[in-house]
Amino acid sequence: MKSIFVNPERCIGCKSCQIQCAVSHSGKDSIFEAIYAEPTPKPRIFVEYMGVAVPLQCRHCENAPCMAACPSNAIKKEDGAVVVEKEKCIGCKACVMVCPFGAMSIDVGESKVLKCDLCGGNPACVSACKTGALQYGDILELIKEKRKKYLKSMLKIVAIGGVHECK
């Protein structure tokens, strides 16, 4: 299953992901057109600060608690993404309250839930992230690649004589 993998150590808090998300969901061709669009475009990813910048967006849970909590069945799985059918959403906020990541919000203007939809398989936030804090792909493959990089760095240490303790 493809998902967005977040590496908070690489996030510098520039909010490029947040801006690109809003622009891509605005239906406009450029950031300049999106700025003046009505209603104002809203991002589905947020860069939170708790001493560190961390991109926060829907994790598209396997057994999504938001789906189970929705009384109108407005939330469903579609090609691995947890998506909202806006026509069915009644704005009750049950999904917002049960999301373990705090990644869902309400569009006050529409009184409908607002969340990441993976942009149909090509997340705008990932393409906007120049530091590599956001990656999109099969989560198991991304973990495998990360392990390979770690093992290669450990092999380099061993090849030059290992780590020695000073007494």
Per-residue confidence of the chain (167 residues) as pLDDT tens digits?
788 988 888 999 999 999 999 999 998 888 888 888 888 888 999 887 677 788 889 999 989 999 999 999 999 999 889 999 999 999 999 999 999 999 999 988 889 999 999 998 999 999 999 999 999 998 888 889 889 988 988 888 777 766 556 55
Kindly report the pTM of this predicted structure. Answer: 0.78
Predicted pLDDT at 110: 87
At a CB cut-off of 8 Å and minimum separation 6, what does 6 contact?
54, 55, 57, 133, 134
Q: Name the strand (E) or helix (H) holding 18.
A: helix 16-26
Give 132's DSSP letter: S
Predicted pLDDT at 2: 84
Torsion of CA 149, 136, 66, 11, to 10 degrees: 70
- Three-state SS for 90? coil
Predicted pLDDT at 112: 93
Please name the fold of domain 2-139. Alpha-Beta Plaits (3.30.70)
Contact criterion met (CB below 8 Å) for 80 and 1: yes
At a CB cut-off of 8 Å and minimum separation 6, what does 59 contact?
3, 4, 101, 103
Predicted pLDDT at 8: 86
